[in-house]
Amino acid sequence: MLIDIGFILGTMFMYATPLLYTALGGAISENSGVVNIGLEGMMTIGAFSAATTSYFLQNPWIGFIFGGFAGALLGLVHAVACVSYRADNVVSGIAINFLGPGIALFLARHFFGGTTHTKILDLDKKMPRPFDGVFEQNSFFDLILNQYATMFIALFLVFVVHFVFYYTRVGLRLRSVGEKPTAARTVGIRVVLYRYGAVIVSGFFAGLGGSSLSIAIVSHFWHPLISGQGFIALAAMIFGKWKPIPTMFACLMFGFSQGIAVFLGRVIPATYTELVSMIPYALTLIVLVLFVRRSRAPSALGGQVDE
Amino acid sequence: MTETDAVKLTNITKRFPSVLANDNINFVLKKGEIHALLGENGAGKTTLMNILYGLQRADSGTIEVYGRPVSIHNPNDALSLKIGMVHQHFMLFEPFTVIENIMLGREIHQCGVLDRKKARKKVVDLSESFGLTVDPDSYISEISVAMQQRVELLRILYQGADILILDEPTAVLSPQEIVEFGAILRKLVTSGKSVIVITHKLKEIIDFADRCTVVSRGKVVNTLSVSDVDAHALASMMIGHELQAQVQSHKNAPGPRLLSLQNIYAEDDRGHTAVQGVTLDVHAGEILALTGVDGNGQREIIEVLAGVRKASSGSILLRDQEIQNYSPRMLYESGCANIPEDRHKDGLVFKFTVAENIALRTYRNYVEGPFLRFDKMNHDAVSLIQDFNIYPADPMHAVGEMSGGNQQKVIIARELVDNPEFIVAAHPTRGLDVGAASYVQQSLVQEKERGAAILLISFDLDEILQIANRIAIIYNGKIIAVKSASDLTREQLGLGFAGIAE
């Protein structure tokens, strides 16, 4: 029983990791006033880039950072469209969601001899697990804590982003830009600069989220790897009221439902596995319907500003 | 070098695509004075100040600050010249605290980490030395409009402004708060600040200002010392001709009871009981003014009577017929009209034309099969445009591009066209200049004389005392007094606003 709980909690942390990065990215972009539904596409390109770089350089850390930069590049595209050219944020985001996987598949064919997936990393070339071998294998604590380094970094980043948002000058200004850009401008804040910065960093985080999937949770990139996780992260961010710490709990909740799904998948007949794996997605819908009315988005979200 | 001039604007001209907003304007703000900039909406006051504050660029002309020629490209330039501006629509951030709002853009920090303690001290010091009371740790969404204004003032003082530009600062204040505001202005100038107040309220100018510059249609009409003029002369200068005689309201004997609110309770958006057992009768042929400080339940009553908010209990009778919780359409069909509080949000569809806005109530008259007869709609609008003196006289003109006064006339045309029996008029002259306001008041008086029952929600004491037959004072969601207008003085009304009724 204790082992089962450990298994579910461990799975929760594992599946929450990519959501955490991506949802934090979403929170950064949206607190600056730019809607980012392109998270999915940014995750995809990040996942592909990380897997590819890790494979060729045989170093997961470089791959991880590279995944972030790939996401940031798509973030830049989104920023140019939304901030400079005043594109509708949602439309631009949808375009990003086609662009990300498109580029990823194209490059995969190019680098890996026509296949649509990257080569599988050797186990010792994946993200390391800092607590590997500290606890007895498959013991309660081993199941929970023996996670990839990316998980611990994600949790750490939650508090970093929280600190930046609420305790620093950059954070205050960022939120002011998302709340009332005209007013921010009258006190001399450079709205366009902040929005560019936020959307690019948002892409970087989403890229890290994709990386944490392709070089840690699994060991290569293939087409349906991301399959909606960018959107779940977006839902988690909304459920988390656009704030880092509540967003973390939302991500953990989605991770938990994934843990339940995986656990049930092992104990119930195979005919039901598809139904069970729908749990996280169904939960997304339920949560959005029940809670989103009560949360408050940044006022200027999706709006445009004159400079 | 004239050291006594804080600001000197010379030959400022600014042209917008369709209008010459500032035409060779000359303006001098002396050091240590309160200078009122007076003019109708659209006269070019705000444009001129936006130029001084760097939000807009003049096409030609020069700006001198303390005798030095300067060029101001953006608000940062203005701030470094110690010019600060409080905008008509507050530039505050609701989810931020008072301190965060004040320090934004000029944060006290260490290596990028905010030093809230130091900032708090600076804010508290400033607030004490100028008598600007605020709760430094409250969120903007939690504080009153008057306090929000003090936050705005503190913000520009915190930024180090010596020259303060205040755009329509009293529009949102109650009469009591306006008096306090005047005292604050005095304190500011005695401590060496110079203040420009943009306004179109004549009484305030006489009360607060040292000098005043009258602007009309982009040109300066005159700059004069306030002690040399009276309100009447100012009004004539502002609108460019003699103001028509004051709106006359015959205190005619009211007819039978037409509308009756009986023990109405209603909740506000946050679920608090904002209206707590209001009982009121409005008779045919009378204007009943409902007044009080903003936020005492007026909005909820307005919305209940407009059919957009449900009363939680109580009943509303129109000629003894129960109408509470009717839909807006049912109310309209039973003879109720509604001039809403916020013409931007609730009154008009800005992107629609004048004709379409007028037809929002009556569009069913223009239905032919699945189509709307726009030709008929425009044709009908033309006659209303004439009747209500709407400018520009074009049914196809987008309402969003019209002046506030003309927008209000569009609403009034729509609401009054069918001779309603009962009219709710919520702050019908708010933000309008003298000419447009007197037109609106005139229309209400005419409706009353026709026999309509009018509930006027307003906190403009002049307006209330001028046109209302009876006055009801609301405080904390309850009616604390209903009196005949002739029995009430301004002082009694002021006390009533504070919740004191004898």
Whole-number Å distance between alpha carbons of A249 and B475? 43
Contact call for B106 and A187, based on CB within 8 A: yes
pLDDT band at B249 (very low <50, low <70, confident <90, very high): low
Within an 8 Å CB–CB cutoff, is residue A87 touching chain B?
A: no
- Mutation target to probe the B interface, by most B beta carbons within 10 A, among A187, A190, A192, A301 is A187
pLDDT band at B367 (very low <50, low <70, confident <90, very high): very high
Contact call for B114 and A172, based on CB within 8 A: yes
Per-residue pLDDT for B126 more than 80? yes
Evaluate whether residue A213 is within a structural domain.
yes
pLDDT of residue B261: 93
Contact call for B93 and A189, based on CB within 8 A: no
pLDDT of residue B239: 66
Within an 8 Å CB–CB cutoff, is residue A162 touching chain B?
A: no
Residue positions counted in chain A: 307
pLDDT, one tens digit per residue, over B455-471 is 999 887 778 888 999 99
Within an 8 Å CB–CB cutoff, is residue B95 touching chain A?
A: yes
Average pLDDT over residues B126-135: 90
Residue whose pair of structure tokens reads 């909304």 in the numeric block: A238
Q: Give the distance from residue A163's alpha carbon to the nearest chain B alpha carbon, in angstroms.
A: 9
pLDDT of residue B318: 92
Whole-number Å distance between alpha carbons of B196 and B208? 11
Q: Give the distance from residue B52's alpha carbon to the nearest chain A alpha carbon, in angstroms.
A: 13
Whole-number Å distance between alpha carbons of A31 and A180? 11
Evaluate whether residue A26 is within a structural domain.
yes
Whole-number Å distance between alpha carbons of B139 and A86? 31
Q: Give the distance from residue A64's alpha carbon to the nearest chain B alpha carbon, in angstroms.
A: 28
Higher pLDDT, B69 or A303: B69
Report CA Rg, chain A. Answer: 19
Cis peptide before B392 (omega within 30 of 0): yes
DSSP state of B167: E
Contact call for A169 and B109, based on CB within 8 A: yes
Whole-number Å distance between alpha carbons of B404 and B79? 30
Higher pLDDT, B268 or B119: B119
Evaluate whether residue A283 is within a structural domain.
yes
Q: What is the mean pLDDT of chain B?
A: 87
The tokens for B447 are 């409706």
Q: What is the mean pLDDT of chain A?
A: 91
Evaluate whether residue A32 is within a structural domain.
yes
Angle at B24 between CA B20 and CA B27, to 5 degrees: 120
Per-residue pLDDT for B138 more than 80? yes
Q: Give the distance from residue B119's alpha carbon to the nearest chain A alpha carbon, in angstroms.
A: 12
pLDDT band at B345 (very low <50, low <70, confident <90, very high): confident
pLDDT, one tens digit per residue, over B368-422 is 989 999 999 999 999 999 988 888 888 998 888 888 888 999 999 999 988 999 9
Poorest-pLDDT segment among A66-70, A96-100, A162-166, B240-244: B240-244
Q: Which chain A residues touch B109 with a CB distance below 8 Å?
A: 168-169
Give me the sign of the Cα torsion angle B290, B306, B171, B44: negative
**ipTM field:** 0.86
Higher pLDDT, A107 or A305: A107
| Residue B56: Cβ within 10 Å count | 18
| Residue A275: Cβ within 10 Å count | 13
Per-residue pLDDT for A196 more than 90? yes
Q: Which chain A residues touch B117 with a CB distance below 8 Å?
A: none
Angle at B278 between CA B276 and CA B279, to 5 degrees: 155
* pLDDT cut 90: percent of chain B above it: 49
Within an 8 Å CB–CB cutoff, is residue A185 touching chain B?
A: yes
Whole-number Å distance between alpha carbons of B64 and B83? 12
* pLDDT cut 70: percent of chain A above it: 97
Pick from B55, B93, B106: CB nearest A180? B93
pLDDT of residue B18: 66
Per-residue pLDDT for B1 more than 50? no
Contact call for B105 and A175, based on CB within 8 A: no
| Residue B361: Cβ within 10 Å count | 18
Per-residue pLDDT for B495 more than 50? yes
Pick from A176, A188, A296: CB nearest B76? A188
pLDDT of residue B248: 60
pLDDT, one tens digit per residue, over A19-56 is 999 999 999 999 999 999 999 999 999 999 999 999 99
| Residue B169: Cβ within 10 Å count | 25
Higher pLDDT, B107 or A275: B107
CB pairs under 8 A between A and B: 60
pLDDT band at A271 (very low <50, low <70, confident <90, very high): confident
Contact call for A168 and B112, based on CB within 8 A: yes
Whole-number Å distance between alpha carbons of B280 and B261? 5
Contact call for A172 and B100, based on CB within 8 A: yes
Per-residue pLDDT for A208 more than 50? yes
pLDDT of residue B475: 87
Report which of B453, B454, B408, B461 is spatially closest to residue B433, judged by C-alpha positions. Answer: B408
Nearest CA in chain A to B95: A179
pLDDT, one tens digit per residue, over A256-265 is 988 888 888 8
Pick from A173, A179, A186: CB nearest B75? A186
The domain of A252 spans: 2-291
pLDDT of residue A288: 75
Within an 8 Å CB–CB cutoff, is residue A184 touching chain B?
A: yes
The tokens for B118 are 């130091």
Evaluate whether residue A216 is within a structural domain.
yes
Taking chain B, what is the end-to-end CA distance rounded to the nearest angstrom?
A: 59
pLDDT band at B252 (very low <50, low <70, confident <90, very high): low
Residue A69 sits in a domain of what CATH number?
1.10.3470
pLDDT of residue B168: 85
- Total of domains in chain A: 1
pLDDT, one tens digit per residue, over A83-93 is 999 999 999 99
- Compute CA distances B380 → B41, B391, B447, whole Å: 28, 16, 21
Angle at B203 between CA B154 and CA B213, to 5 degrees: 75
Per-residue pLDDT for A306 more than 80? no
Q: What is the DSSP string of B241-292?
A: SPPPPPPP---PPP-SEEEEEEEEEEE-TTS-EEEEEEEEEEETTEEEEEE-
pLDDT, one tens digit per residue, over B8-46 is 999 999 988 767 889 999 999 999 999 999 887 677 888
Q: Delineate the domains of chain B, giving CATH numbers in brackets.
A: 5-239 (3.40.50.300), 257-497 (3.40.50.300)
Nearest CA in chain B to A179: B93
Contact call for B105 and A187, based on CB within 8 A: yes
Average pLDDT over residues A236-257: 93
Evaluate whether residue A299 is within a structural domain.
no
pLDDT, one tens digit per residue, over A123-163 is 888 999 999 888 888 899 999 999 999 999 999 999 999 99
Nearest CA in chain B to A31: B95
Q: Which chain B residues touch A187 with a CB distance below 8 Å?
A: 75, 91, 104-106, 155, 159
In this prediction the pTM is 0.78
